[in-house]
Amino acid sequence: MTALARPLYARGVYRPSPPERSPTVGLLLGLMITLSAVLAYSAYITWQVTSLHKLQTDLVDRNRKDSLQLLRIQNDLNLLAVAMRDMVSNDEPYPLSAWAGQFQRIRTDLDDAMRRETGFAAARRTPEQSAFLDNSLAQFWDAADRVFALAGEGKEKEAREQIQLSLQERQAALSTAVSRLLVQNSENEEQAARRIVQIYDRVQLQVYVFLIATLLAILLTGLSLIRWNRHLFARMAELSKRRSELAQKLIATQESTLRYISRELHDEFGQILTAIGSMLRRAGAHAPENSPLRADIQEVREVTQSALDKVRTLSQALHPVMLDEAGLENTFDWYIPTVERQTGIAISYEKQGASFPLDGAAGVHIYRVLQEALNNVARHSGTRQAWVRLRFLSDALELEVEDHGVGFTERPARRGIGLVAMRERSELMGGKLVFSRPAEGGTLLHLTVPREKVESYGKEDHSIARG
């Protein structure tokens, strides 16, 4: 069994502990059930109270709005009564037809008030009441139209008689009906207010009683759990430490595997394809000029060269040899233009500060963060421009990747494996990875790694990889 194929625990990464019977399982289950009951009952009661309160409030508000419209209707009816009184008294030197404009304005406002009032009172008014009010109003306006028709024909006396015999009586009946509706609304509002107070007080008392009983149960359960919390947190700390060690092992193994595959692609397959290209070139030289065979050989040579270029590109993507030979800065200088050619994204690259030596393992992690960030820009941002900034500070190294495309808030709410890997690599170097939204929109990745961590991480990483 090779080193890569051996189980992780055989190399000292993780040795499973014997199973332990925790006495907290039952207590935790009881606590979860209690908390679930509390949350469910509290949510139910709160929803009931809120719904009831909202319903009752809506009823009261609708009743008040209905009353306001009824007062508006009553005011219009009073204006009609005053106008009819002046029309009958004949004290004004105007003909009856001169009142038609005022009646029309009052009619327009009265129709609007009736329409609004019908919408507010539809749930509480009987069909008979609504029909009576609508019919009475329609009959009033029919009679008013007849009065103004007589006045238009010069029959002033007959028109005044119609006002006294018909219009004034109909107006009085409408005013009485509206007054009754106002009284009914006042009574309904008082009854609704009393019911709201009674129901709300009763439900509130039930909630308080249940919460007190539940809090007592939680308190008793919590006291039993306190003594086991220390043991639980100790286990969590141990597991966290093991997880960190396992992550370092896995990343080191991954990089080792990628480096091996990259070299195999570059050396073995690259040499094979190069040899095939050489043989095709020699074969093409022996083929007759302008013959179909020579054209076919040339086409195969081009396909072979394309495959060789793709193999070399894939080899560099898996693990750039330049990273081991020339360092991180030169790798950035090569990789960023390569991404520009492959994706068509214009990348502005800035490098600041006096560089300091980076360990190979730390350089690999920083390169992988840049690689994943630019992949995200190409796949998800939807923009054609990005900015990369590499800063060598006196006490830290900073890497920023910025784009003004689609930010994380507009993307699907899920955490990809790439983001998890970037955070894991940052934590392994003792660094900090922050995602933010620039003022122009998009995403800004900011990686900060302390200088001493970068310089000392490589030794720790190699020692773990050999463990």
Extract the tokens encoding 252: 């080191």
Kindly tell me the sign of the dihedral angle through the C-alpha atoms of 235, 237, 240, 244: negative
Tell me the pLDDT band of 39, cut-offs 50, 70 and 90. confident
Tell me the pLDDT band of 350, cut-offs 50, 70 and 90. very high
Q: With 60 as the cut, is the pLDDT of residue 187 above it? A: yes
State the average pLDDT over residues 1-27.
49
Half-sphere exposure of 312 (CA within 13 A, CB side): 13
Residue 25 is predicted with a pLDDT of 67
Q: Is 448 left (phi over 0), alpha (psi -120 to 50) or beta?
A: beta
State the average pLDDT over residues 280-304.
78
State the average pLDDT over residues 329-339.
88
Residue 434 is predicted with a pLDDT of 92
Going from the N-terminus, what domains does the chain have, and what CATH number goes with each? 24-219 (1.20.120.1730), 321-465 (3.30.565.10)
Residue 385 is predicted with a pLDDT of 92
* Highest-confidence segment of 23-32, 95-104, 311-320, 359-368: 95-104
Tell me the pLDDT band of 466, cut-offs 50, 70 and 90. very low
Q: With 70 as the cut, is the pLDDT of residue 20 above it? A: no
CB atoms within 10 A of CB 6: 11
Residue 232 is predicted with a pLDDT of 76
Q: Distance between CA atoms of 365 and 360, rounded to whole angstroms?
A: 9
Residue scoring higher pLDDT (351 or 126): 351
Extract the tokens encoding 451: 């200088």
Tell me the pLDDT band of 400, cut-offs 50, 70 and 90. very high
State the average pLDDT over residues 104-129.
81
Q: Return the SS3 of 346.
A: strand
Q: Nearest 5°: phi and psi at 397? A: -120, 135
DSSP characters over 201-264: HHHHHHHHHHHHHHHHHHHHHHHHHHHHHHHHHHHHHHHHHHHHHHHHHHHHHHHHHHHHHHHH
Q: Distance between CA atoms of 420 and 415, rounded to whole angstroms?
A: 7
State the average pLDDT over residues 325-331.
82
Residue 282 is predicted with a pLDDT of 77
Among residues 155, 199, 176, the alpha carbon closest in space to that of 48 is found at 199
Extract the tokens encoding 161: 């008689």
pLDDT digits (tens, 9 = 90+) for 238-265: 887 787 677 767 777 776 787 678 777 7
Q: Residue 392 in contact with residue 356, Cβ under 8 Å?
A: yes
State the average pLDDT over residues 24-48.
73
Half-sphere exposure of 127 (CA within 13 A, CB side): 0
pLDDT digits (tens, 9 = 90+) for 212-227: 877 887 787 777 767 7
Tell me the pLDDT band of 152, cut-offs 50, 70 and 90. confident
Q: With 70 as the cut, is the pLDDT of residue 440 above it? A: yes
> Alpha carbon of 128 to those of 122, 179, 271, 325: distances in Å?
12, 16, 98, 96
Residue 122 is predicted with a pLDDT of 58
Q: What is the pTM of this model?
A: 0.45
Residue 457 is predicted with a pLDDT of 60
Q: Return the SS3 of 23.
A: coil
Residue 334 is predicted with a pLDDT of 86
| Strands 432-436, 396-403: pairing kind | unpaired
Q: Distance between CA atoms of 267 and 258, rounded to whole angstroms?
A: 14
| Average pLDDT of every residue of the chain | 78
* Highest-confidence segment of 58-67, 194-203, 318-327, 395-404: 395-404
Residue 300 is predicted with a pLDDT of 84
Residue 387 is predicted with a pLDDT of 95
Q: With 50 as the cut, is the pLDDT of residue 8 above it? A: no
Residue 238 is predicted with a pLDDT of 84
Residue 6 is predicted with a pLDDT of 43
Q: Distance between CA atoms of 293 and 344, rounded to whole angstroms?
A: 37
DSSP characters over 267-322: IIIHHHHHHHHHHHHHHHHHSPTT-HHHHHHHHHHHHHHHHHHHHHHHHHHH--HH
Q: Residue 56 in contact with residue 196, Cβ under 8 Å?
A: yes
Q: With 50 as the cut, is the pLDDT of residue 467 above it? A: no
Tell me the pLDDT band of 399, cut-offs 50, 70 and 90. very high
Tell me the pLDDT band of 19, cut-offs 50, 70 and 90. low
Among residues 206, 95, 224, 191, the alpha carbon closest in space to that of 147 is found at 95
Q: Distance between CA atoms of 332 and 314, rounded to whole angstroms?
A: 17
Least confident interval from 68-77, 108-117, 324-333? 324-333
Q: Distance between CA atoms of 178 and 133, rounded to whole angstroms?
A: 8
Q: Distance between CA atoms of 395 and 64, rounded to whole angstroms?
A: 70
> Alpha carbon of 363 to those of 86, 263, 338, 449: distances in Å?
99, 18, 18, 11
| Strands 385-392, 346-352: pairing kind | parallel
Task: Spell out a b/e string for 388-406, using b for 16 or more CB atoms within 10 Å of the CB, else e.
Answer: bebebeeebbbbbbbbbbe
Q: Return the SS3 of 381.
A: helix
Least confident interval from 100-114, 179-193, 424-438? 179-193
